[in-house]
Amino acid sequence: MSPRGQSLVELAVALPAVLALALGTGAIIRLADAKSGLDGATAAAVADAARQTSAATASQCAQTRFAAIIASYPLIRPVLTAGGTFRRGTFNRGSWYVGTSSAGVDLSFVPLWFIPKWVTVRSQARALVEPWRSRSQQPCGVYAVMN
């Protein structure tokens, strides 16, 4: 066998494995990026909500903050469920404000049969309803972090 023929055979054997590694790595990177974005959006939404004056404004603030952050990530149908509190079930100072979220991640760009077309990722965060802060007119969103 000539050296040129041997090189073509080696390429034909190795190319599928190299392509599978490259495409699988791309899928893992997209999945990790989406998961970290979902974690960050959920944590920011819950933290902003815990600074609000009532449970109703907290829920609205959480949804607004979550939507603003999650828009820049490759997620399908992101959903935030926020508002559960432990300790007498109210929005009292010192209680916990809890948020859970889920979203799908599109992996259909990877043409490998063993990688699913989409994956669901989930996140949970909780924040202490701040006991030391005045409850009057707490801003929601980016300005809440900056002030």
pTM of the model: 0.79
- Domain total for the chain? 1
Name the residue range of residue 104's domain: 3-146
**Does residue 10 carry a pLDDT above 80?**
yes
pLDDT of residue 121: 95
Question: What are the tens digits of pLDDT across the range 91-137?
Answer: 777 788 899 999 999 888 877 777 788 899 999 999 988 766 665 55
Identify the burial level of 61 via C-beta atoms within 10 angstroms of its C-beta, where 0-12 means exposed, 13-18 middle and 19 or more buried: buried
Helices (H), the chain: 3-49, 55-70, 142-146
**DSSP class of residue 139?**
-
**In 3D, which of 101, 97, 98 has the Cα closest to residue 122?**
101
